[in-house]
Structure 1
């Protein structure tokens, strides 16, 4: 009985040892598996890390290339844009310079500085030269031998009669009317208009005394107002007392006709057409005279031929009688 119990105890102890051994072995195997898994995991992590680094490097390289390309494009576009801006600024500065020069030129003209003469003279010069051939006008003509005064222009009429043409533009007096209108000062407007009329009356008297010298000239002269607004002001002005128009007064007293750009243009064009008609008429008369001369010569020639024929017939009659 004791022996059986001992055997049983030994078997049980052996079984326990076997179980312990198997457990220990199983743990060792599990540890080995865990070590392998950890190694595999580390290897996978390293592979993923390398792949990620490669992807990042590729992306960075691509981004760098794209950025460099974009930077180059932006730099080029900016350079072109700045160049265009510089050109536009240069053009703008040039235009401002030209505008300043034009303003200086106008200021000089309005101040009476003689570059091409005053504004009125320059306007008159351009108008006459544009509408008349050089053979129909003269510049800076002395009408009286006992004076040094020259009229600006003289237009040639038939028979070499001259029409004196002088310009007048009292800028400050005309500007005073505009300023008074802007200030809505009726008294100042009336005073300024009277002063402007007085300036043209004085000019008309001066032109009459200096330049109207019949029969060398016509019995009237032209005073040119270089702007339509000035001409309108002059033609509308009436004497406060007599109510006579300024243009009528100047014609009656001083034989002066006031012309603006449009009226002078129409007058010059009519003169030019008249001259052309006279030339055509003259040429037609000359052609007719030439034809008459030719006709007369032909008639004389045929008369001579007839006389020669008669003499030949008489000579043949004498010969036949022999």
Structure 2
């Protein structure tokens, strides 16, 4: 618990004394005038004593304050001195530790330096020893390999010499025989060269190349379509003397016998295509662009010619097919931007190559089959209609038969009822022996049969 200050204690004592005096004064005043004088005298004495006590207390408090100030100053001086001593001791300890760390680090560096130096010397010695050993082993290996290679070379040279002698002898003999055959073949080659020259002159003719395209087109049609589905040299346009090379028969959707033709004509712009290939070989971009445009003009001209001569709806389809006999030519036409779309839009001509024509004809063949199935389907529907009508009549016959059967069943039930009634009537009649009954019934059966 914290002690109360001295001043507070004094004030408390003064208050208590004042209360006691007040009580005494009250008590004395009640006893009379003499008593009041004595009380006042006592109060005066108490006041004197209080003054003296107050003075003594004040002096004591002053002395205590001075002693406390002096003790505090002495304590502060002692604390300062102790702190200074501790700081000096701490600085000394820190300096000592720093010196120890510095000395230890220097010793470690020196020891590490010595160790690294020793390791480096030992490593260099080991590397030198290893290199010397490897050099020695490698030298021995090289010498051994050289000896083996020399031996192998001698063996190979010997075998090669023998083999060459044998093979050269055989080869000279074979070459001599082949030279004789070559001399005989030269005469044949000369004849073949003259034949090739004749063939080149024939192929250089545009009409001949057109015949080759027509021949190739005929071969494709023959491979894919049956003979009944196409024809050669067909006059597809009424009042025209021009015949298309090939025309595919398109059956009508109804059952009429009228045939619609799909014109197919082979075209081969020989000169423009050859010039374009020559321009590609030379790498001249100007010539390439020029001959591309020329090829485009020729293809458009062919399309216009086919449409004018061979397309005549409703005798033909509203479009026709232009066949290009080489895939390279077809690819070149495809590379010309917008040409295929223009031909189809303006002239309604579909351009095909050997591969695309085969795909188109296969698709057309599937269409023919679908149309045939469709025609057969209509026939099947007619047959089913007839069967349905007959089946309705058959239902009526079955209904009548059911009625007849019901009537026969009722007659049989009536006969059974009558039979049971007869049995009841005959129950009292004497039964004949079986043999006699059978004889009698047999005679009756014979009479009935007669």
| TM-score bucket of the superposed structures, by smaller chain | 0.5 to 0.7
Relative to 1, partners in 2 of residues 1:300 and 1:103: Cα closer, same or farther, differing over 3 Å? farther
Pair 1:196-2:313 in alignment? no
In the other structure, the counterpart of 2:202 is: 108
Equivalent residue runs for 1:233-252 within 5 Å? 233-238=332-337, 245-252=338-345
Query: 1:271: Cα distance to partner?
Result: 0.7
Q: Which has the higher contact order (CA 8 A, sep 6+)?
A: 1
> Residue 222 of structure 1: SS of its match in structure 2?
strand
In the other structure, the counterpart of 2:220 is: 127
2:240 pairs with one of 135, 147, 166: 147
Deviations 1:196-228 (Å, cap 9, x if unpaired)? 111111111111111111111222111111111
Equivalent-residue separation in structure 2 for 1:209 and 1:248 (angstroms)? 19
Equivalent-residue separation in structure 2 for 1:258 and 1:108 (angstroms)? 27
Deviations 1:240-261 (Å, cap 9, x if unpaired)? xxxxx11122222222221111
Relative to 1, partners in 2 of residues 1:288 and 1:305: Cα closer, same or farther, differing over 3 Å? same
Equivalent-residue separation in structure 2 for 1:126 and 1:291 (angstroms)? 43
Name stretches of at least 5 consecutive residues in structure 1 with no aligned partner: 1-77, 239-244, 315-322
Pair 1:253-2:350 in alignment? no
Alignment check: 8 A CA contact 1:120 1:168 kept:
yes
1:118 pairs with one of 207, 211, 220: 211
Pair 1:271-2:333 in alignment? no
Larger Rg: 2
Deviations 1:271-316 (Å, cap 9, x if unpaired)? 10121122233334423432442343344356357668979999xx
Going by fraction, where is helix more abundant, 1 or 2? 2
In the other structure, the counterpart of 1:17 is: none
Alignment check: 8 A CA contact 2:303 2:347 kept:
yes
> Residue 389 of structure 2: SS of its match in structure 1?
helix
Equivalent-residue separation in structure 2 for 1:130 and 1:107 (angstroms)? 30
> Residue 365 of structure 2: SS of its match in structure 1?
helix
In the other structure, the counterpart of 2:413 is: none
After alignment, is 228-237 or 152-161 more displaced?
152-161
* Cα-Cα RMSD: 3.9
> Residue 148 of structure 1: SS of its match in structure 2?
coil
Query: 1:189: Cα distance to partner?
Result: 1.6
TM-score (norm 1): 0.59
Name stretches of at least 5 consecutive residues in structure 2 with no aligned partner: 1-172, 253-258, 408-450
Pair 1:232-2:326 in alignment? no
1:169 pairs with one of 259, 264, 268: 268
> Residue 313 of structure 2: SS of its match in structure 1?
coil
Relative to 1, partners in 2 of residues 1:82 and 1:125: Cα closer, same or farther, differing over 3 Å? same
Aligned pairs, how many? 232
Query: 1:194: Cα distance to partner?
Result: 1.4
TM-score (norm 2): 0.44
Equivalent-residue separation in structure 1 for 2:224 and 2:183 (angstroms)? 40
> Residue 263 of structure 2: SS of its match in structure 1?
strand
Alignment check: 8 A CA contact 1:143 1:151 kept:
yes
Runs of 4 or more consecutive aligned structure 1 residues displaced over 6 Å after TM superposition: 85-88, 95-100, 308-314
Equivalent-residue separation in structure 1 for 2:321 and 2:200 (angstroms)? 25
Relative to 1, partners in 2 of residues 1:307 and 1:107: Cα closer, same or farther, differing over 3 Å? farther
Query: 1:267: Cα distance to partner?
Result: 0.9
